[in-house]
Each structure stands twice: as C-alpha cells, then as structure tokens.
C-alpha cells in the first residue's frame, strides 16, 4: 500500500482529536473529487512498517490524547490496500482497544466484498458512497454529498 498524507494530530476528520492517514488508490473517479492525485494506487509513498509503528505510537501518546484513527484517501478499501489496512486495524484494535476507527470509502456498504467486510468488521464508523457533485452540501459533517451515509457500526 502507498499513502499520500499522515496527520498525527487532526481535528477535522471525525470526532475528537485523531490520527488521520490518507492512502493511495481509488477506482471511483467521482466528478469533483477533492483528491484526484490519490487515484493511482502507486502514487504517494510506500506505507512502511515504520509508518505503522508511528501511528500506533501516536495513538498511545498520553500528552495529546487521540480519540482514534481516521482512514481516508483515496480509498482504504481499494483492493490494493486491503491487506495493509486489515493489518493496521487489527493491530489498533489489539494494542489500542479504546481507540475508535473511522473509514471513508467510495464503495457502498451494501456492495462490499467479503474481503472488504473483514476490515469493516473491525472499525467503528464507515462513511460510504461516491462523492456526487449535484448532492454536494458544505453544511454536511464529515461527508461531501448527501448520498454518503455515516454508518455507526459499533
Ligand atoms: S471516492 Fe473519494 S477519493 Fe475516490 S474519486 Fe470519489 S471523491 Fe475522490
């Protein structure tokens, strides 16, 4: 997996103070996409073990308490990302069980594959669906267009 950006302290992508990772790779090609540079799965930088360790360390940092981890992109559920994202969320749930995980995907919840569900079964909040420019509403919290749904899973 490759990624484009990592914010160790972020207050705009989800509830509370969070760590946020923007991964590479997205097949949805939404018109008006805010992050076209992430579409190619080989764009950005390799997501290394060191980067994964850094995220865990940041989530465990007691000086700035993080509520959890946000995964965006790109699309964390892109087929090229599934094994790395699954490994990351499994580790977060094991070593930081009090932290919540939010994930943004262009896929709809109802169309997810079994492999994608393995990731989704470990996260707390899924924001799903493509960005639809005609349904864009800047007043919406944590999503760009009104077709996208915030699923609070657990
Ligand atoms: S799902 Fe998100 S990143 Fe992918 S094309 Fe649509 S808006 Fe862009």
Residues 31, 68: Cα–Cα separation, whole Å:
30
Q: What is the pLDDT along the chain (154 residues), one digit of tens a residue?
A: 999 999 999 999 999 999 999 999 999 999 999 899 999 999 999 999 999 999 999 999 999 999 999 999 999 999 999 999 999 999 999 999 999 999 999 999 999 999 999 999 999 999 999 999 999 999 999 999 999 999 999 9
Residue-wise burial string across 63-76, b where 16 or more C-beta atoms lie within 10 A, e elsewhere:
eeebbbbbbbbbbb
For the CA of 73, the nearest atom of ligand 1: 3
**Distance from C-alpha of 18 to C-alpha of 32, rounded to nearest angstrom:** 26
pTM over 0.95: yes
Ligand 1 atom closest to 28 (CA): 5
CA of 33 to the centre of ligand 1 (A): 5
**Ligand 1 proximity of 30 Cβ (cutoff 6 Å):** yes
147 lines ligand 1 (CB under 6 A): no
């Amino acid at each position: 997996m490759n990624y484009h950006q990592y914010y160790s302290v972020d207050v705009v992508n989800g509830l509370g103070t969070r760590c946020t990772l923007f991964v590479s790779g997205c097949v949805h090609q939404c018109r008006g996409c805010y992050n076209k540079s992430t579409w190619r799965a080989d764009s950005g930088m390799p997501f290394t073990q060191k980067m994964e360790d850094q995220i865990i360390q940041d989530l465990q940092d007691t000086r700035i308490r993080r509520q959890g981890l946000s995964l965006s992109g790109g699309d964390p559920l892109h087929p090229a990302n599934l094994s790395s994202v699954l490994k990351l969320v499994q580790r977060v749930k094991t070593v930081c069980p009090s932290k919540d995980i939010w994930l943004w995907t262009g896929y709809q919840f109802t169309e997810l594959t079994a492999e994608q569900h393995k990731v989704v079964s470990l996260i707390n909040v899924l924001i799903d669906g493509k960005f639809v420019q005609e349904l864009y509403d800047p007043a919406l919290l944590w999503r760009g267009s009104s077709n996208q749904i915030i699923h609070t899973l657990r």
